Every structure is written in structure tokens, then in C-alpha cells.
Amino acid sequence: MSLIKLPLLKPLKIALLQLSAGANKQTNLLNVENHVAEALKLRPDTDLIMLPECFNSPYAVDKFREYSEVVSVKDGETTKFLSNLAKSNNVFLVGGSIPELDPVSNQIYNTSLTFDRNGELIGKHRKAHLFDIDIKGGIRFKESDSLSPGNKASYFNLNEFGNIGLGICYDIRFPELAAIAQRKANAFAMFYPGAFNTTTGPLHWHLLARSRAVDNQFFVVLCSPARDLSSSYHAYGHSLVVDPNGNIVAEAGTDEEILFAELDPSLLPTVRSSIPITFQRRFDIYDDVASSYTPAAN
């Protein structure tokens, strides 16, 4: 079988900043700034920097409103900070996520912002699936106590590098968002800032990343907060990068760390030609896969 022809795109050199976030927002932002400087000192040719979920605030249901702010390059504290950081360092920046206040509805969202090299906001994703779980003998956590869900799948363009999709943490458990990015935008990668915990992380963190990569034959990138056992929520850590074959090509530990990787889109044609699932889907059989339905009772 001949290789599938895809647009010629440049490899994307990325740095994932696995950071801790405490109670002081200014300290959290300064920590981001220092780690960005360190990443670019180590790898000056880095194209894109990614931050973890809730990098400017504690990850706590009862704190989201307190730390929330309007998303605005003009008036939003963290939005302005991220925009200036991307522009001053000439990098794309996937800004993890922050608690966003909608000034019209007064609702709070868990929102990720992405900026281009000029500091322009090019991508915004509100976490679509809220993390409401109660694991017997494990963890109980209910984001919907303070957050509202987003209502769209998100993907956007990185110029010469092509399109990427974006989800946040729990979104990775729902394969539809990644599938939309791959099929509608021909994305070469899916990025997820995420804060799995020490119960769910060992169970499914690696499995889900590799599954989404194999499902869609593209790169999957996960950036976690560092693990802080003094906080109320213990993040799993282990930020990682998975290639289109499902191989883990880079992985962090649990402490603060900068993880580097290169996403080479030239891998995609070989993978997709070898196992051509992209062209063998039977929508005549499952054309109603997105229809509304009532889940069967347990």
C-alpha cells in the first residue's frame, strides 16, 4: 500500500512544564515565568511551551471561584501574563488551565488558553466533561459543585506546524473530542493539560493517552501539575508524550520538571498507511453514534 499523502509540516519542538501551584497566585505566575526562562535556556529552539491544569491556583472545588478571573488580554490578569509571556519569548503557549469567570452569566469554567508567537489568543477550550467521581475507598471530588461545563470541541492552527486539538484532563476519557479534532481538522496532535490524582493516575493515565493516540493515529501530549503532598489534592505527575503508534516517547516523574519532546508529523503517513483505520470506518453501521440516547440502567 502506498503512503497516505499528508501536508508537509515542520516538526514541533515542545516543552512541558510540570509545576506546583500554591495559594499565592503571584508566586505561581512567577514560577511559570522562571521555568519558561529555564526551558528556553536549555532548549532555545523550543517552539511551544505547555503548562499544567490549574497552574495559577490550587486545584480545589471550594477555591475555583475565589481564584477565578475574566479571560481578556486587556483586563484578565493571567490572560495578559500568558500573552506577554508568549510574545516576549517568541513561542506558542498552551496555557494549561485557569478558573475563568464569565462576567455575563457569573458562571465559572475550567478554561485553557493558547497563544501564538505574537501573543495573540488563538485557542480557548472550556473543560467539557466535569470531574465528578466518588471512588469507594479512594477519592471523592465533584467539580460541578462550583464549575460549569464547556459546550464545544476545540482545535486550532499552529501555522507551519498544522492543527492541534485541545482538551482538559477528564476530557481525555471521552474519545469523541479527540476524534473530532482528527477528522474535522486533520490534527496531528491532541494536547491535554490534566491533573489526574494518585488513585486515577496509576489506573488510567498512560492507558488513556496511548488509547487516544492509537484511536486517531496522532500524538497525544499530557501535562500534569507536580505532586504536592502538602496540598489537599495530590496530582499524579508523569507528564508524557505518546506517538501515533502508541509508544511513550517522553515521561516526567512526580516532582517539578521540564519535559522536552519533538512531534514529527512525518510519522503520520506511515502509521496511517500501515493500519488504515482512518479509511476503514463503517459509518453506514454506526452513523448514529452521536445521537442523543438514554444510558441503560445499571
The answer to whether position 41 is within a domain reads yes
The answer to whether position 298 is within a domain reads no
Query: CA-CA distance, 145 to 18, in Å (whole number)?
Result: 27
- H-assigned helices in 63-202: 64-67, 77-89, 175-185, 200
Nearest to 142 by CA among 125, 129, 126: 129
**Residue 213 main-chain phi, psi, to 5 deg:** -65, -45
pLDDT band at 285 (very low <50, low <70, confident <90, very high): confident
pLDDT band at 1 (very low <50, low <70, confident <90, very high): very low
The answer to whether position 286 is within a domain reads no
The answer to whether position 221 is within a domain reads yes
Domain hosting residue 241, numbered range = 12-274
The answer to whether position 144 is within a domain reads yes
pLDDT(19) > 80 = yes
The answer to whether position 294 is within a domain reads no
Number of domains composing the chain? 1
pLDDT(12) > 80 = yes
* Residues designated catalytic: 53, 127, 169
pLDDT(293) > 80 = no
The answer to whether position 7 is within a domain reads no
Q: Is 33 helix (H, G, I), strand (E, B) or coil?
A: helix
What predicted TM-score, i.e. pTM, was given to this entire model? 0.93
The mean per-residue pLDDT over the stretch 258-271 comes to: 94
Report the pLDDT value the prediction gives residue 288, as an integer from 0 to 100: 64
The mean per-residue pLDDT over the stretch 255-264 comes to: 98
Report the pLDDT value the prediction gives residue 177, as an integer from 0 to 100: 95
* CATH number of the domain encompassing residue 179: 3.60.110.10
The answer to whether position 281 is within a domain reads no
In the chain, % of residues over pLDDT 70: 93
pLDDT(153) > 90 = yes
Query: CA-CA distance, 153 to 119, in Å (whole number)?
Result: 23
Report the pLDDT value the prediction gives residue 16, as an integer from 0 to 100: 98
